[in-house]
Amino acid sequence: MAKNYNLPDMQGHFGSYGGTFVAETLIAALEELRDQYEYYRNDVAFQQEYARELKFYVGRPSPIYHAKRWSELLGGAQILLKREDLNHTGAHKINNTIGQALLAKRMGKKRIIAETGAGQHGVASATVAARYGMECVVYMGSEDMKRQAPNVYRMKLLGATVIPVESGSKTLKDALNEAMRDWVTNVENTFYIIGTVAGPHPYPMMVRDFQAIIGRESILQMQEEYGCQPDTLIACVGGGSNAIGLFYPYIDNKNVSMIGVEAAGLGINSGKHAATLLTGKPGVLHGNRTYLIQDDDGQIVETHSISAGLDYPGVGPEHAWLKDIGRAEYVGITDDEAMEAFDMLCRYEGIIPALESSHALAYAAKIAPTLDKDKLLLVNLSGRGDKDIDTVAKASGVVF
Amino acid sequence: MSRIAATFENLKQDNKKALIPFITAGDPDPAMTVLLMHELVNVGADIIELGVPFSDPMADGPTIQRSYERALKHNISLENVLEMVAEFRKTDTETPVVLMGYANPVEAIGHQKFSARAKECGVDGVLVVDYPPEECEEWLESLKLNRIDAIFLLSPTTPERRIQQIAKRAKGFVYYVSLKGVTGSAHLDLNEVANKLVDLRSHISIPIGVGFGIHDSVTARAVSELADAVVVGSRIMKEIEESPREKILMNVSGFVKVLRTAIDK
């Protein structure tokens, strides 16, 4: 892989984004994490153990699948799916939780904490905690707990304690605030596993590195199966971890374009959406500088998406940078468009996709008909949709 | 000499320690804040720390977070907070006012514009919790230009190299967070505070205030024997939260009076 792109800098900046915007009380913990990660990042034994876990526990590599019937129906470019939905626990999240849990183990931390919105990262954290024999505490907004009851139960089955967060909007951003407070109080024995490419340095870099397996595998698999690289990468962006995982290894390959798909909710003009890069302004939240959905006074505004995993008012700082330099393009897909793509993939390919991933699928479906048949769109199918069937049923007026 | 420096100078001459109560601007409602500020001065506050409500106060505990939520129900903006300070300044030109808040509302206004406006309204110092020294050069410039003191936090885990870094930038006083955790946490280890203060004093020439975990006359007294200033926040906000509106002034002033007496004993 050519390495012209070498961000972030030593302080975790991606251009003017990223960085370490936290209270002094957290600095020492972050410096320890940064130093330890810097060491193990280049440690062969660590990387070997990580690779083994991905192979034998997660089931990697995940295949690239040609969605042939759907592509034919759309009548244009070929849609290829990177099947992160086939990972153990059903999404890309575990690539990261395994990496961070292995790091926690080496740092001698016996307790891990995590924030979760939809519950996928919480489940992935509870899973690795069980796998490595660690105590696990997951913070989850009480609103989200209601919306995602099966995932709450999953975490409990895996031995985790789920703590409801009643502050603020009672959703993901508040769960993140609460997890940070726990960390600052219990930092000696606790490792905080952040689930996305947000938070203070080194989190955006570390989570990206652990998710970059998605893009690295894709480069090899594309070469092997198709003898070329895709024309365009498409991935959904909430915090942006699955997207950066796919994009990052391709950044230096300028022949490959990148599209991040944000949740346009009920429509960009409705005000009820989570399209941070499309509508937000730069600011500081959760320890980094990035685009934020905020009001004129700088207060963070509640977001909306049918998919809980995209329902976040910030976005990873590296995406903010890729947007500003024009290396990646960011677009929006509404709840309805995502639902339609969800249906199509079920009916035409026999795959139930996560609602998050359905946003990426919907954008692929939108542009595929406008492109030649020999063009290849690689869509990150970041998770499976079993968790979403209640939401989809409700939106379709079906009662179980 | 800045109002903050003058205050500490006078206290030193009287052989007294500073009492710095914290209240959230706009809690329980905007009309109460300036009244509370004057009342705090009446019962012995030397400096007033005014919290700027933010939707995502990551470094604060539940009590202060709830106070921010109550204030935000009234749509309190940073500009509103500045207007409260200006109102307070109409009748009190001596008591320093320090704002404490988070970066995003400041950035929404802009560093330069905010600092100029804050000066105009009579703000003496600003502590932006999530601006560590390495991320805020431009911000510090704007404060300096407007002769506003940059207040910094120090924590039990701050290593020596950073203490020096912060000492170079800090103005007015530094705020030592006396325990690991968030505002309003319970345990306070006085021996640890005492040891750490010796350490800090070898690098820092301006006064050192201690806060986090001070909740009664005993802890206030103990801290006042070690530090130059005692900062009390969550315990006061709890008083505001639990009192009926008509009793807030009375209850808060009663509590602060107790602290003042304990510190001066």
d(CA A378, CA B135): 38
Q: Which residue of chain B is at minimal alpha-carbon distance from A23?
A: B130
Start-to-end CA distance of chain B, whole Å, equals 29
Share of chain A above pLDDT 90, in %: 91
Note the pLDDT of residue A147.
Answer: 79
Helices first, then strands: H and E counts in chain A:
16, 14
**Which CATH number fits the domain that encloses residue B146?**
3.20.20.70
- Is beta strand A190-193 parallel, antiparallel or unpaired with respect to A161-165? unpaired
How far A303 CA sits from the closest chain B CA (Å)? 13
d(CA B241, CA A355): 41
Note the pLDDT of residue B223.
Answer: 95
Does A2 score more than 70 pLDDT? no
Q: Which of B54, B56, B152 to mutate to test the interface with A (most CBs of A within 10 A)?
A: B56
Report the run of H or E that residue B36 belongs to, with start and end.
Answer: helix B30-42
Q: A24–B154: do the CB atoms touch at under 8 Å? A: yes
Note the pLDDT of residue A1.
Answer: 46
User: Is the CB of B160 inside 8 Å of chain A's CB atoms?
Assistant: no
List the one residue out of B264, B242, B265 whose CA is nearest residue B252: B242
Token pair for A153: 């139960």
Does A87 score more than 80 pLDDT? yes
Mean pLDDT, range A375-397, rounded to an integer: 94
Q: Which residue of chain B is at minimal alpha-carbon distance from A280?
A: B108
Q: A167–B78: do the CB atoms touch at under 8 Å? A: no
Q: B108–A187: do the CB atoms touch at under 8 Å? A: no
Mean pLDDT, range A238-257, rounded to an integer: 98
Catalytic residue among A93, A109, A323, A387: A93
Q: B54–A299: do the CB atoms touch at under 8 Å? A: yes
List the one residue out of A330, A323, A329, A321 whose CA is nearest residue A8: A321
Note the pLDDT of residue A168.
Answer: 85
Note the pLDDT of residue B189.
Answer: 81
Give the ipTM.
0.95
Residue numbers of the domain that contains B39? 3-8+17-264
Catalytic residue among A53, A357, A382, A387: A382
Q: Which residues of B touch A181 (CB under 8 A)?
A: 58-59, 61, 181-182
pLDDT digits (tens, 9 = 90+) for B140-187: 999 999 999 999 999 998 999 999 999 999 999 999 987 766 666 667
- In 3-state terms, what secondary structure has residue B52? coil
Q: B155–A20: do the CB atoms touch at under 8 Å? A: no
pLDDT digits (tens, 9 = 90+) for A43-80: 999 999 999 999 999 999 999 999 999 999 999 999 99
User: Is the CB of A163 inside 8 Å of chain B's CB atoms?
Assistant: no
Q: Which residues of A touch B100 (CB under 8 A)?
A: none
User: Is the CB of B170 inside 8 Å of chain A's CB atoms?
Assistant: no
Does A274 score more than 80 pLDDT? yes
- In 3-state terms, what secondary structure has residue A67? coil
Q: How many domains does chain B have?
A: 1
Q: Whole-model pTM?
A: 0.96
Note the pLDDT of residue A329.
Answer: 98
**Interfacial A residues in 164-183 facing B (CB < 8 Å):** 167-168, 173-174, 177, 180-181
Q: Which residue of chain B is at minimal alpha-carbon distance from A25?
A: B155
Q: Which residues of B touch A28 (CB under 8 A)?
A: 155, 157-159
Note the pLDDT of residue B186.
Answer: 63
Q: B54–A297: do the CB atoms touch at under 8 Å? A: no
Buried b or exposed e, range A269-299, using 16+ CB within 10 angstroms: eeeebbbbbbbbebbbbbbbbbbbbbeebbb
Query: What is the pLDDT of chain A when averaged over all its residues?
Result: 96
Ranges of chain B with pLDDT below 50: none
Report the run of H or E that residue B250 belongs to, with start and end.
Answer: helix B248-264
Q: Which of B130, B139, B158, B174 to mutate to test the interface with A (most CBs of A within 10 A)?
A: B130
Residue B202 amino acid letter = S
Q: Which residue of chain B is at minimal alpha-carbon distance from A19?
A: B135
